[in-house]
Structure 1
Amino acid sequence: MEIHQLKTFIAVACEGSITRASERLYLSQPAVSAHIKAIEDTLGLTLFARTPRGMTLTPDGERLLARAEQTLQAHRELIEEATRIRGQLSGRLRIGGGSNSGTDAVGRLLMRLSERYPEVEVDLEHGHSLDVLDGIRSGRLDAGFYNEPADPPEDMKTIQVGGFAIYLAAPAGLLPVSDEPDWQAMAELPWIYPTVGASCCGHAAESLFRRYQFRPRRTIGIDREKVTRSLIAGGVGIGLLHADTARQARQDGEVDVICQVGDEVRVMFAFLQSRAQDPLLIAAANLLEAA
């Protein structure tokens, strides 16, 4: 039985689906199915029940899942110890870069890793902050950069590498310039922002609504900032933009900036607390802290 087959077993157990496991592992669905069949044939056990809703662990599969996770952890620790013995840092580091999350910090880390540890290979995956955190927790990513609007998750070790403000923007000339925005009047306009509360702009919007005790009559859920900027500039409604985007849109005459919304959002580098002794992650963290 191969280690990659155990990884597939764990992924299917966690996702409950061949399709989602294949996306998580970047494997084809036939390859995932073949791994599961090979494990079941080797062990002489049926690990999953195939149902219309997906893959469900059998009692035998449930008993073996914990052992598989322990085996995978032992394999990881073996590789880490071998790396320490060699004294030469090498291996592959899978890093997630959240949208608009620490672009400069990502560049600095990649450059410094290349200079200091040329044997380390880096895979960079782009996605939203929630995608990055999910990837770290699932094991698809080793670490990543994400936007933190509140307190960092307890299961993550984090390093702040930057920060930015969020601004409420309106189509140029739509609203009168005022020191105190008319929130009730603006509640009648369409609001454009990510309606997922865990995103930084979604979190900022919900905080704003609670503070001024109103809710927009209509919201447009967009999680792409370029699209949000285009819709605001096009007169569709008002919305939330990160500081750099808001500043550039105002300079281009596309929007008026109404006010800052909430506190500064922190840009974090994160990895699991349970992997705090991983030599590759220690090296990456040290390079970022030194910068």
Structure 2
Amino acid sequence: MEIHQLKTFVAVAREGSITRASKRRCLSQPAVSAHVKAIEDTLGITLFERTARGMTLTNDGQRILVKAERALDTHRDLTEEAARIKGRLTGKLRLGAEASSNSDAIGRLLRTLFERFPELEVTLRHGTSLDILNSIRNGDLDAGFYHETGEPDADLVTFEVSRFDIYVAARRGLFTTSQPPDWRTLGEMPWIISSASFCSGQVAEGLFRAHGFRPRRITHVDRESVTRTLLAAGLGIGLLHAETAHEAQRCSEVDLLCEAQKSVRVLFAHSANRMQSPALGVVNSILHAGMSGERSFSYVVRRHALTRDDILVTA
């Protein structure tokens, strides 16, 4: 039984589908099926019930899944321990980010990783905050940047990268801004918002509940640049992040009617059970250095036996 077969088994178990597991593992469907059959033949038990709706774990399969995930965690720890012994970072680091996350922090992080750790293969995938959190929890991502309006879950280790406010905006001159917004009137207007899986979409839904209305027409747009264009054209009411909102206001495109949400936090997060990862230790130190302006790497040096020269960052 090979490690790559165990990875395929876990992927099928999590996805519930040969097709989705093949995409996740970048394998052909016959290869995925062959991996599962090889494990079943080796263990002498049936892991899945194959139905028209997909692959469902048997009772035996559920017990094996727990052991398989532990084995993969142990394998990952082993390879990372070898990297610590060698004093360099190798392997893969999979990061996620919501499209409107702090691009300066992400760019600085990636540049530093590329320059200082050429043997570390880094990938960045964009998605909604919900997608990123789910991918961190199911192991598809090692860490990611997401937007948090409340308190992060206890199963995550987080670090605040930045904060931003969100404003309700409308075409310039559409409403009088000298008075508080008339929510009854705003409720009659079309609204342009992102889906509820994005931070702005969640804030919009909170506004609707707080003021007791539901717009008659909602257009879902998941790119803030498109929202800005539609608002400037007078096609509805919408939400903009502070930087975009103030720029659009300076360009006389929109008026800011009120603050919808104050201090949304952009957090870098990874699972609490990855605290021993040398790559994530380095990432945390780079982000801390970027925020504080201090070159303090005691966390990495102490926990991961990397030298100061290995991880020196030039801000």
Instruction: Give the structure-2-normalised TM-score.
Output: 0.85
Contact 1:228 1:239 survives alignment (8 Å): yes
2: distance between equivalents of 1:93 and 1:112? 14
| Superposition deviation, residue 25 in structure 1 | 2.9
Distance 1:177 1:85 in 2: 62
1:81-111 CA deviation, whole Å, 9 max, x = no partner? 2122222232221111221112111111112
**1:283, CA displacement in angstroms?**
0.9
Cα pair 1:149 1:199 within 8 Å, conserved: no
- Which residue number corresponds to residue 36 of structure 1? 36
Structure 2 distance, partners of 1:22, 1:259, is: 47
Deviation per residue, 1:226-257 (Å, 9 max, x gap): 33223223332111111222223333433222
Match of 2:304 in 1: none
Q: CA, structure 1 residues 231+26, in 2 after alignment: closer, same or farther (shift >3 Å)? A: farther
Matched residue type, 1:132: I
Letter paired with 2:120: V
Alignment match, 1:244: 243
Residues 18-167 of structure 1: matches in 2 within 5 Å? 18-167=18-167
Same amino acid, percent of matched pairs: 57
Count of matched residue positions in the alignment of Structure 1 and Structure 2? 290
**Is 1:254 aligned to 2:253, yes or no?**
yes
Aligned partners of 2:169 and 2:255 also within 8 Å: yes
Structure 1 outlier segments of 4+, above 6 Å: none
2:158 and 2:278 map into 1 onto residues whose CA distance is 16
Amino acid at match of 1:151: E
Which runs of no fewer than 5 residues in structure 2 stay unpaired?
291-315
CA RMSD of aligned residues (A): 1.9
Contact 2:135 2:141 in 1 (8 A): yes
* Whole-angstrom CA distance in 1 between matches of 2:226 and 2:28: 32
Q: Which amino acid aligns with 1:233?
A: A
The answer (yes or no) to whether the contact 2:190–2:237 under 8 Å persists in 1 is yes
Q: Is the 8 A contact 2:177 2:256 kept in 1?
A: no
SS of the aligned residue for 2:206 comes to: helix
Q: How far apart, in 1, do the equivalents of 2:106 and 2:229 lie?
A: 26
Matches within 5 A, 1:201-280: 201-280=200-279
8 Å Cα contact 1:25-1:140 kept in structure 2: no
SS at match of 2:214: coil
| CA spacing shift, 1:66–1:227, aligned 2, 3 Å | same
Kindly state the Cα deviation for residue 49 of structure 1 after the two structures are TM-superposed.
1.2
What secondary structure is seen at the aligned counterpart in 1 of 2:262? coil
Query: Normalising to structure 1: TM-score of the pair?
Result: 0.92
Cα distance in structure 1, aligned partners of 2:253 and 2:276 = 48
Summarize the Cα distance change of 1:35–1:128 in structure 2 as closer, same or farther, 3 Å threshold: same
CA contact 1:162–1:267 (8 Å) conserved in 2:
yes
| Residue identity opposite 1:58 in structure 2 | T
State the AA in 2 paired with 1:224. R
> What SS class does the counterpart of residue 78 from structure 1 fall into?
helix
Distance in 2 (alpha carbons) for counterparts of 1:140 and 1:205: 29
Paired AA for residue 60 in structure 1: D
Question: What's the offset of the Cα at 1:132?
Answer: 1.5
- Structure 1 distance, partners of 2:252, 2:19, is 45
Which letter maps to 2:119? E
